[in-house]
């Protein structure tokens, strides 16, 4: 693979071997095949044993697992900007964050949003501004390179709306040049287009807070100017052409102009009342740990919004909110022993714990092993039994799901719930009735969250309005939560494990999955990268549901996985596949993506195939001496392309799952029923 001048990998993805390729790994001598198979099996057993020991060693004493959740430097930059805005910055925190920012800068002066990705304008602007707040001089070499690149790519005017909101807080951008977001939105009835429940839960929490910020339009005096980041300082915000009025973009552009006009005539009493209602909505959704939704961005904007409405920083709501933000900080030391501070956008203990339990059980750890029992105890205590925002669309559905984070009772998600059920069913807990009761509640809630098309989204049912994504304000990431193949597959797999394959809701989900297969045989992966993840999720679910390995959809998927296998025997897929289908299934081999491909092929009955043998060899060969794997590449997804994630535990749990299934012949307890 070639390198470009921006430091990213070349424009063309790595070539996967064709069917006619002859390599040392896929053209084994037939006479030696039994011995070679024995060697591979032995290597797999050794690797699984080492990986098991490693995973057990990193469990918390309370029973949970959590790996770092690495995203991009906008989290760190916005944390420093928040502290500057509130006047609570301190030198130690600022310097530690600045070390992290400098360490993530690339040779061309830019910052990327995923490992080896291209420079990204908004991330580069935010990191640059944060470093200036930390004291880095604009004429320093690393800062000058960044500023030059920013200007060459359109300057601040070309950045996304959220970046310009942060700059507006300090007077570096005009509030009047931003899209309008009125707080009166809080009063829109649930049936009305663009009501807050038309937005996905993560966008909803952010937007309600930002309606207050947008209405107040605060400005804290900036400590310096940013003229060096404008492509043309004399015209920092050149006019943007209007789209045709007959297009959706044109309609919403004109709607935004109308909202700017409404601001001038808005009834003050109504606006004050709307902001008060929005504030009450925010406060009601603060979690026990002080955070909002267990996610850093909504917490940041909620704190700003409430502070603008008069909440003192010592008020219990803001005091606990600020404390919660400190829990997103990961502290390390650099090569010189100086402290480095990275901010997680979110934390994933429930997700990591259920995946770790599945991996250990599938690898052959006894079902009553004390550490599995401790994990089950912790997961059982995390089940949510009260309504959340999801109940707006499902008011008569009893609760029973799990969230992703330590504290997030308002927003349990279908994906976590399905995987927690699969994990609990693999563990021999001393109080089986407690597990059965929790599983029954979870299954009822999960199946009840089915969307009208037969599939499942992550947090809400039928969160598919076409309007939120059209708003000029929403130019970054997904703001709705439509059903996806990976989440639907996990629900189908859970239902099959519970003996519910013939349930009409499950059959509809299976039909939807079969209809959603891509022409090349893969499935799109919404929450993991990307087609390898989607396919790695769907094939095990179809197998669990009784779809035979000979089914045409399964065979198409197998052929696709074989085509995109890398020459080294692994699988990989770059985040660029979300923008360019040429990257589908293409990228440097990674432990997690190789494991997903192996899980799919094993479910399709391909254990003895050359592709599986080569994949298992790759995992065994790349394992580190301590039983772990290294994986700098981002294989998780928050928003396809816009927000990528490196889950640091993915590189451990998924390879162990794949190796365990290869060694032991399938998922633990796969034949259980209820």
Report d(CA 578, CA 638) in Å as an integer. 12
Q: Is 295 helix (H, G, I), strand (E, B) or coil?
A: strand
Please report how the helices 432-448 and 370-381 are oriented relative to each other, as an axis angle in degrees rounded to 10. 50
Report d(CA 318, CA 298) in Å as an integer. 13
Nearest to 405 by CA among 345, 349, 356: 349
CB atoms < 10 A from the CB of 374, how many?
17
- The one-character DSSP state at 247 is S
Q: What is the DSSP string of 582-617?
A: GGTT-SS-BHHHHHHHHHHHHHTT-TTSHHHHHHHH
Nearest to 379 by CA among 411, 410, 416: 416
Query: Which residue in 362, 413, 415, 574 is the catalytic one?
Result: 415
Q: Is 576 helix (H, G, I), strand (E, B) or coil?
A: helix
For 307, residues 6+ apart whose C-beta sits below 8 A from its C-beta are 86, 313, 318
Q: Establish whether 520 is a catalytic residue.
A: no
Report d(CA 526, CA 588) in Å as an integer. 20
**Residue 521 region, left (φ>0) first, then alpha (ψ -120 to 50), else beta?**
left
HEC-encoded secondary structure of 429-473: CCCHHHHHHHHHHHHHHHHHCCCCCCCCCCCCCCECCCCHHHCCC
324 burial (CB, 10 Å; 0-12 / 13-18 / 19+) is: buried
Q: Which residues participate in catalysis according to the annotation?
A: 415
């Amino acid at each position: 693979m070639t390198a470009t001048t921006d430091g990213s990998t070349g424009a063309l993805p790595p070539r996967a071997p064709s069917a006619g390729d002859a390599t040392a790994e896929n053209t084994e001598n037939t006479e030696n095949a039994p011995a070679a198979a024995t060697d591979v099996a032995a290597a797999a057993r050794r690797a699984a044993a080492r990986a098991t020991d490693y995973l057990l060693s990193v469990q918390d004493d309370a029973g949970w697992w959590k790996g770092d959740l690495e995203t991009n430097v906008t989290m760190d930059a916005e944390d420093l900007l928040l502290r500057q805005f509130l006047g609570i910055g301190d030198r130690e925190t600022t310097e530690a964050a600045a070390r992290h920012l400098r360490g993530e800068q690339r040779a061309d002066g830019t910052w990327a949003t995923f490992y080896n990705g291209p420079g990204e304008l908004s991330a580069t602007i935010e990191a640059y501004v944060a470093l200036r707040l930390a004291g880095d001089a604009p004429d320093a070499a690393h800062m000058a390179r960044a500023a030059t690149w920013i200007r060459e790519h359109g300057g601040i005017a070309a950045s996304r709306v959220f970046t310009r909101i942060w700059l507006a807080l300090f007077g570096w951008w005009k509030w009047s040049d931003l899209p309008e977001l009125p707080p009166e939105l809080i009063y829109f009835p649930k049936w009305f287009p663009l009501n807050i429940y038309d937005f996905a839960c993560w966008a909803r929490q952010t937007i309600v807070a930002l309606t207050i910020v947008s209405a107040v339009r605060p400005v804290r005096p900036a400590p310096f100017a940013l003229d060096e980041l404008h492509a043309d300082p004399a015209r920092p915000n050149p006019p943007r052409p209007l789209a045709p009025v007959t297009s959706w973009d044109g309609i919403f552009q004109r709607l935004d102009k109308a909202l700017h006009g409404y601001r001038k005539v808005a009834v003050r009493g109504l606006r004050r009342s709307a902001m008060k209602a929005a504030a009450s909505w925010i406060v009601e959704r603060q979690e026990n740990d002080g955070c909002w939704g267990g996610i850093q961005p909504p917490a940041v904007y909620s704190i700003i919004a409430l502070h603008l409405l008069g909440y003192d920083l010592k008020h219990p709501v803001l005091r606990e909110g600020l404390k919660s933000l400190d829990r997103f900080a990961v502290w390390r030391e650099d090569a010189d022993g100086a402290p480095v501070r990275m901010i997680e956008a979110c934390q994933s203990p429930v997700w990591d714990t259920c995946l770790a339990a599945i991996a250990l059980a599938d690898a052959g750890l006894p079902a009553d092993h004390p550490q599995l029992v401790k994990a089950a105890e912790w997961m059982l205590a995390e089940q949510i039994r009260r309504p959340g925002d999801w109940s707006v669309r499902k008011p008569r559905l009893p609760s029973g799901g799990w969230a992703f984070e330590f504290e997030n009772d308002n927003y349990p998600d279908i994906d976590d719930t399905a995987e927690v059920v699969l994990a609990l069913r693999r563990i021999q807990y001393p109080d089986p009735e407690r597990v059965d009761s929790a599983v029954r509640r979870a299954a009822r809630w999960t199946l009840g969250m089915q969307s009208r098309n037969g599939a499942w989204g992550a947090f809400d049912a039928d969160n598919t309005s076409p309007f939120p994504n059209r708003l000029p304000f929403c130019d970054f990431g997904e703001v709705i939560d439509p059903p996806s193949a990976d989440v639907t597959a996990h629900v189908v797999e859970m239902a099959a494990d519970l003996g519910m394959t013939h349930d009409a809701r499950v059959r509809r989900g299976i039909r939807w999955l079969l209809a959603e297969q891509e022409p090349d045989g893969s499935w799109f992966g919404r929450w993991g990268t990307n087609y390898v993840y989607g396919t790695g999720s769907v094939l095990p679910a179809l197998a669990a549901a009784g779809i035979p390995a000979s089914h045409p959809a399964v065979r198409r998927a197998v052929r696709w996985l074989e085509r995109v296998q890398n020459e080294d025997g692994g699988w990989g897929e770059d985040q660029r596949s979300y923008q360019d289908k040429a990257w589908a299934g293409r990228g440097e081999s990674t432990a997690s993506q190789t494991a997903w491909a192996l899980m799919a092929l094993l479910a399709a009955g391909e254990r003895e195939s050359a592709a599986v043998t080569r994949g298992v060899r790759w995992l065994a060969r790349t394992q580190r001496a301590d039983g772990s794997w290294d994986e700098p590449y981002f294989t998780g997804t928050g928003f396809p392309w816009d927000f990528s994630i490196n889950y640091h535990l993915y590189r451990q749990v998924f390879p162990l799952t794949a190796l365990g299934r290869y060694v032991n012949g399938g998922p633990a307890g796969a034949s259980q029923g209820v």
